[in-house]
């Protein structure tokens, strides 16, 4: 995702990489994404997710309160794909966070 400011989550290493869950592709250059973290905390709107990174099973959380629009140029590599049940769970949390907004 690149370097961020304020309460936004920064990534690791010199490129500030952070895994992001693509929740909606708008076109080949634009998508809606949710950053992921492996720092587990009990806060609202942080559903747990499990994914493989370099063969290792990782437990993390989707930071849906930090969901935002991204340019696809920010994507550097594919890490994993969530199972359908996990993805649907994240989407249910997003709908809950947004309430009646449509």
Distance (Å) of CA 13 to CA 2, 40, 77 = 10, 20, 15
Q: Does the residue 11 lie in any domain?
A: no
- Positive/negative CA dihedral, 81, 22, 19, 67: negative
Q: Does the residue 33 lie in any domain?
A: yes
Model confidence pLDDT, tens digit, residues 7-35 = 555 566 666 678 899 999 999 999 999 99
Record the pTM: 0.80
Model confidence pLDDT, tens digit, residues 34-85 = 999 989 999 999 999 998 877 888 899 999 999 999 999 888 888 888 999 9
Q: What is the domain count for the chain? A: 1
Domain that holds residue 80: 20-98
Q: What angle do CA 58, 45, 101 make, to 5 degrees?
A: 135
Q: Does the residue 12 lie in any domain?
A: no
- Positive/negative CA dihedral, 97, 93, 44, 81: negative
Q: Token digits for 26?
A: 């708008």
Residue 26: its pLDDT value, please?
97
Q: Does the residue 7 lie in any domain?
A: no
Give the domain CATH number at 94.
2.30.30.110
Q: Does the residue 8 lie in any domain?
A: no
Q: Does the residue 5 lie in any domain?
A: no
């Amino acid at each position: 995702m690149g370097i961020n400011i304020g309460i936004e989550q920064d990534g690791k290493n010199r490129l500030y990489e952070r895994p992001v869950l693509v929740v909606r592709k708008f076109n080949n250059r634009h998508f809606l994404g949710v950053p992921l973290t492996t720092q587990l905390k009990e806060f609202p709107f942080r559903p747990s997710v499990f994914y493989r990174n370099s063969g290792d099973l990782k437990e993390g959380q989707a930071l849906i309160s930090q969901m935002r629009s991204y340019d696809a140029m920010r994507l550097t590599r594919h890490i994993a794909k969530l199972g359908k049940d996990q993805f649907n769970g994240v989407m249910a949390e997003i709908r809950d966070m947004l309430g009646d907004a449509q």
